[in-house]
Amino acid sequence: MAYASSGTFERDTDYIPDRITRDGRKPEHGPVDGDLWPVEPGRYRLVAAKACPWATRSLIVRQLLGLEDVISVGLCGPTHDERSWTFDLDPGGVDPVLGIERLQQAYLARFPDYPKGITVPAIVDVPSGQVVTNDFPWITHDLFFEWREHHRADAPDLWPSHLRDEMDDVMERVYTEVNNGVYRCGFAGSQEAYDAAYDRLWTALDWLEDRLSRSRYLMGDTLTEADVRLWTTLARFDAVYHGHFKCNRQKLTEMPNLWGYARDLYALPAFSDNTDFEQIKTHYYVVHKDINPTQIVPKGPDLTTWQEPHGRG
């Protein structure tokens, strides 16, 4: 993480820019600043962690699109040290496909002097054991656009063409003000920075509460990538962000439309299967020692309420 002179949290977004595209072609959308790799079923392994909101996006989209037999998944445990995420959920602490203990090994296999943080999600080329990309927004984008020939027949249209322009605007606001907004609160380096971050976050959450009073999903009656991107923050809100990150004006459960919407999404297997509240709590409260030096993980909140009827049909 980094801070501006004002104490404002600034996320490092300098990721490996490679893309996986159909036949290794130049993609129709987005940057092409790195290498292009060909779509090839069975070749790549998505390394993720259910504790991480950015990685959970890719797990949800992979399952929504039916790519489970096309792109394998390696799951890291909920905590990591300064070096790397680790495969401590696997027998012997070794990923059974890649044969490595730390995700760092895949990064260093390609970039021996890799200077930046080892992040999830990351897509790894199985034959070489080398990382391909960790650019999380483009990973899910390309799972939809570039792997379409391998989607299940009834896969949802996560990027409807007629909604694309508005959806881009919505996702940009969700990312800057909500997904990243909670982190600006939690890692603020001054009271002034925290106050400003808090106000920005709740302005956006009020906007979403109002928007969802008029439609089932963010873009109407259609589930889209925008919903996946918002979901990962909502799933962590009461368990982590409300207290740990001091985003405490209200709980998610106290915002009727956002709470009903979140339970509506949780009722879908792709969302609930890839959400582990205990791993989420363990990650934030143990890893963020600067915020929680005791590393005590809270027992609450009551998670059974996620199973209650959402009433948004």
Q: What is the pLDDT of residue 6?
A: 63
Is 306 annotated as belonging to a binding site?
A: no
35 versus 11: which is more confidently predicted? 35
Which residue among 15, 44, 107, 183 is the active-site one?
183
Question: CATH for 161-307?
Answer: 1.20.1050.10
The span from the CA of 171 to the CA of 233, in Å, is 13
Query: Domain locations in the chain?
Result: 2-150, 161-307
Strands 44-48 and 36-38: unpaired
The dihedrals phi and psi of 305, each to the nearest 5 degrees, come to: -65, -15
Which stretches of the chain are assigned E, i.e. beta strand?
2-3, 9-10, 19-21, 36-38, 44-48, 72-75, 122-125, 130-133
Q: Inform me whether the pLDDT recorded for 313 exceeds 90.
A: no
Question: Mean pLDDT across the stretch 258-271?
Answer: 98
Q: Which long-range contacts (CB under 8 A, 24 or more apart) does 195-204 make?
A: 196/8, 197/8, 197/9, 198/246, 198/247, 198/249, 201/177, 201/247, 202/249, 203/177, 204/173, 204/174, 204/177, 204/178
Q: How many residues does the chain have?
A: 313
- What's the topology of domain 2-150? Glutaredoxin (3.40.30)
247 annotated active-site = no
35 confidence band (pLDDT: 50, 70, 90) = very high
5 versus 21: which is more confidently predicted? 21
Q: Are the C-beta atoms of 98 and 45 separated by less than 8 Å?
A: yes
List CB contacts of 261: < 8 A, sequence separation 6 or more: 212, 216, 217, 234, 310, 312
Q: Inform me whether the pLDDT recorded for 1 exceeds 70.
A: no
If we measure between CA atoms, which residue out of 273, 293, 185 comes closest to residue 231?
A: 273
Report pTM.
0.96
pLDDT digits (tens, 9 = 90+) for 227-262: 999 999 999 999 999 999 999 999 999 999 999 999
107 annotated active-site = no
Which residue among 15, 44, 52, 217 is the active-site one?
52
Q: Are the C-beta atoms of 184 and 9 separated by less than 8 Å?
A: yes
As a whole number of Å, the end-to-end CA separation of the chain is 40
pLDDT digits (tens, 9 = 90+) for 125-147: 999 999 999 999 999 999 999 99
Angle between helices 191-211 and 256-266 (to 10 degrees): 70
